[in-house]
């Protein structure tokens, strides 16, 4: 970026005619004038593309320095395409000037910016002293911060620290996680990826007409997805002692907002960018932006703390296309993001441990167990939270792999635990997480009033108790695959099974009885399908088993004349005699307290579309 500075008694301009790349002007805007001003005539160059932040920061520091030296009361930024033949694209030019204005404002300068892309007339009165005319050429070389290197140790429940190279104990999952994360050993090529068969079965697949890493769900998958999202809401609202505010919001935020831009820098090239009509936006990578943008306007008292804010937030991360995995690693994910707002570090540690309890409980409900990768932003953070971590390790009677991030980076968090399961492919997969955030309250201007009436910045916990909705589905499918590996029949929890009961007619003569039974079950909130097609009973039974229906009933002459039914129960892979009332009672007992939704497709299979 090339600039020409002129220290002037005054500078005034008038807009005349827009060019094809002109930015839109506020209604009534004709021009501008500033007195006792340092005018910066600016040409944004081709070499500045992709370096907006670095160039803007460098130029802003220099402008502040020069304005102080010459005693200018204010700064005017004036786009001027005549200092270089190598002009940037118009978008970079607009974005550079907007970003430079924001940075100067943040530094305390009084700034006026002339519009980009307009023919303008101007008048200027140069002061004529030795420093009144200066030229600059900014390259945008980012300041190099001396940073340390990452390191790892294994921490045992008794406080002993062991190097990963020497630690040979722990579960298979822990060893695999440690080999990958600490010792940087690549996983071997995977064999058959079995869970994909279940994704296909329940209508979950990549959307070929979208970007890589974006999924779509037909009726069964959509129902399962929504049930899991409902369950995530239920979990956070059942945490004892925590009041939770459920919110909804947008998925894009302007990079012109300093807290958004600063936070976004930590995610680098993993960001999804949207070029708007007037501004550029970043698609959120969690619910943080929306919840924090709301909370900065809330009047919060210490009496309200702790409280939670929750949203199942569609979030976007530019994962490498070659590493995307259905349900596990996607570019669009849905994160049941709970933020717990705490008054101080002791309270945040107390709730950190409560959330850790809940994360392990949810894994246990599926018959799974976690191993912990604990990330620290610094050795100081480790010292600060070591006692809390040891309590967690003693409670679970487990070691943890500790990862120390490079020193010298201004992280917004201090400690984060990633909870890993060992999947069917013998790979450690992160599902749940919890983190202590000490920086974003200040960054976004979130405060609470303490006992003495003073404003304080709270500590914020980030957690996804069951991971993203997609990763929870991944865990359900992987658990079913592991059942099959152990010689069992793969099953899903009845509450999340799209079709809990299916009635199969032997002939059309049995349809009235089957319909009556289906109506009775459906009225009790049970998802029931009715195979009324003109297929053989054998084919219908095979289809029901292939569809993983939890309970299957063949309705023939016997069922019409008798109250006792022969019910195929998938969980035990056997037929069990019971009445329709006993079946309903059994299903309702198995799903008690869990989310419930009706079928997302016609009950009668003769009316259903074939998605295969």
Cβ-contact 290, 313 below 8 angstroms:
yes
**Token pair listed for 118:** 């307009």
Q: At what angle do helices 345-365 and 379-396 cross, to 10 degrees?
A: 40
Spell out the SS3 assignment of 540-590: HHHHHHHCCCCEEEEECHHHHHCCEEEEEECCCCEEEEEEHHHHHHHHHHH
Q: Which is nearest to 295 in space by CA: 108, 437, 107?
A: 437
Model pLDDT for residues 60-101, shown as the tens digit of each residue: 999 999 999 889 999 999 999 999 988 888 888 999 999 999
C-alpha to C-alpha distance for 391 and 195, rounded to whole angstroms: 36
Cβ-contact 7, 70 below 8 angstroms:
yes
DSSP conformation letters of 593-606: TS-----SS-SBGG
Strand partners, 541: none
C-alpha to C-alpha distance for 340 and 573, rounded to whole angstroms: 43
Burial class (CB in 10 A: 0-12, 13-18, 19+), 30: exposed
Strand partners, 3: 42, 136
- The larger pLDDT score, comparing residue 585 to residue 143, is at 585
Give the chain's mean pLDDT: 93
Distances (CA, A) of 43 to 137, 295, 444, 499: 10, 39, 32, 64
Q: Taking the CA atoms of the chain, what radius of gyration do you get in angstroms?
A: 31
C-alpha to C-alpha distance for 464 and 431, rounded to whole angstroms: 8
Listed in sequence order, the DSSP H helices in 122-194 are 172-181
**Ranges of each domain in the chain:** 2-137, 151-251+284-477, 501-607
Distances (CA, A) of 412 to 266, 312, 331, 440, 529: 9, 22, 23, 6, 50
Q: What average pLDDT score do residues 598-606 get?
A: 97
In the structure, what pLDDT confidence band is assigned to residue 417 with cuts at 50, 70 and 90?
Answer: very high
Q: Which is nearest to 376 in space by CA: 402, 356, 398, 351?
A: 402
% of residues, the chain, pLDDT over 70: 98
User: What's this model's pTM, rounded to 2 decimal places?
Assistant: 0.79
Q: Which is nearest to 475 in space by CA: 609, 325, 353?
A: 325
Instruction: Give the distance from CA 304 to its chain's centroid.
Output: 26
- Please report, in angstroms and rounded to a whole number, the separation of the first and last CA atoms in the chain: 56
Model pLDDT for residues 38-64, shown as the tens digit of each residue: 999 999 998 888 889 999 999 999 999
Distances (CA, A) of 507 to 81, 450, 539, 555, 597: 81, 72, 13, 9, 30
pLDDT at 410: 72
Dihedral sign (CA 574, 576, 580, 583): negative
N residues, the chain: 612
Listed in sequence order, the DSSP H helices in 493-553 are 511-523, 537-546
According to CATH, the superfamily of the domain at 151-251+284-477 is: Bira Bifunctional Protein; Domain 2 (3.30.930.10)
Architecture of the domain made up of 501-607 = 3-Layer(aba) Sandwich (3.40)
C-alpha to C-alpha distance for 266 and 94, rounded to whole angstroms: 23
Fold type of domain 2-137: 3.50.80
Residue 191 pLDDT greater than 80, yes or no: no
Model pLDDT for residues 195-243, shown as the tens digit of each residue: 999 999 999 999 999 999 999 999 999 999 999 999 999 999 999 999 9
In the structure, what pLDDT confidence band is assigned to residue 268 with cuts at 50, 70 and 90?
Answer: low
């Amino acid at each position: 970026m090339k600039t020409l500075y002129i220290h002037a008694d005054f500078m005034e301009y008038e807009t005349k005619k827009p060019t094809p790349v002109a930015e839109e002007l506020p209604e009534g805007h004709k021009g501008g004038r500033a007195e006792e001003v340092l005018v910066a005539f600016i040409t944004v160059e081709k070499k500045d593309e992709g370096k907006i932040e670095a160039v803007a920061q460098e130029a802003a520091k220099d402008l502040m320095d020069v304005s102080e030296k010459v005693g200018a009361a204010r700064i005017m930024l004036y786009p001027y395409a005549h200092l270089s033949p190598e002009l940037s694209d118009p978008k970079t030019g607009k974005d550079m000037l907007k970003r430079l204005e924001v940075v100067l404002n943040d530094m305390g300068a009084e700034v006026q910016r002339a519009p980009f892309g307009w023919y303008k007339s101007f008048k200027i009165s140069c002061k004529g002293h030795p420093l009144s005319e200066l030229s600059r050429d900014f390259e945008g070389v980012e300041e190099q911060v001396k940073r340390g290197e990452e390191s790892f140790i294994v921490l045992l429940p008794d406080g002993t620290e062991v190097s990963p190279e020497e630690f040979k104990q722990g579960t298979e999952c822990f060893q695999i996680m440690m080999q990958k994360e600490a010792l940087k050993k690549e996983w071997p090529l995977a064999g058959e990826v079995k869970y994909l068969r279940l994704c296909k079965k329940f209508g979950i697949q990549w959307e070929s007409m979208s970007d890589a890493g974006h999924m779509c769900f037909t009726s069964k998958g959509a129902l399962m997805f929504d049930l899991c999202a409902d369950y995530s809401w239920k979990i956070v609202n059942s945490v004892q002692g925590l009041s939770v505010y459920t919110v909804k919001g947008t998925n894009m935020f302007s990079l012109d907002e300093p807290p958004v831009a600063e936070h976004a820098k930590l995610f680098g090239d993993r960001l999804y960018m949207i070029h708007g009509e007037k501004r550029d936006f970043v698609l959120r990578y969690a619910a943080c932006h929306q919840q924090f943008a709301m909370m900065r306007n809330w009047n919060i008292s210490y009496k309200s703390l702790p409280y939670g804010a929750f949203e199942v937030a569609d979030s976007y991360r530019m994962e490498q296309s070659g590493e995307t995995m259905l349900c596990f690693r996607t570019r669009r994910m849905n994160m049941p993001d709970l933020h717990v707002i705490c008054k101080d570090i002791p309270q945040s540690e107390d709730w950190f441990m409560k959330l850790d309890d809940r994360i392990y409980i949810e894994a246990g409900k599926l018959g799974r167990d976690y191993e912990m990768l604990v990330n620290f932003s610094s050795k100081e953070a480790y010292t600060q939270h070591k006692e809390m971590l040891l309590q967690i390790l003693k409670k679970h009677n487990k070691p943890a792999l500790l990862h120390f991030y490079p020193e010298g980076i201004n992280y917004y968090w201090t400690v984060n635990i990633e909870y890993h399961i060992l999947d069917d492919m013998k790979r450690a997969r992160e599902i749940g997480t919890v983190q202590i955030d000490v920086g974003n309250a200040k960054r976004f201007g979130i405060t609470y009033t303490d006992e003495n009436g003073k404003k304080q910045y709270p500590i914020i916990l980030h957690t996804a108790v069951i991971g993203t909705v997609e990763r929870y589905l991944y865990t359900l499918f992987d658990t079913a695959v592991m059942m099959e590996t152990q010689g069992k029949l793969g099953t899903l929890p009845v509450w999340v099974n799209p079709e809990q009961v299916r009635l199969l007619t032997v002939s059309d003569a049995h349809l009235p009885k089957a319909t009556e039974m289906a109506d009775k079950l459906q009225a009790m909130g049970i998802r029931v399908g009715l195979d009324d097609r003109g297929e053989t009973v054998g084919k219908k039974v095979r289809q029901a088993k292939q569809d993983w229906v939890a309970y299957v009933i063949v309705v023939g002459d016997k069922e019409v004349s008798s109250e006792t039914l022969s019910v195929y129960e998938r969980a035990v892979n056997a037929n069990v005699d019971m009445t329709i009332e006993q079946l309903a009672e059994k299903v309702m007992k198995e799903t008690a307290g869990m989310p419930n939704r009706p079928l997302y497709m016609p009950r009668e299979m003769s009316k259903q579309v074939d998605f295969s």
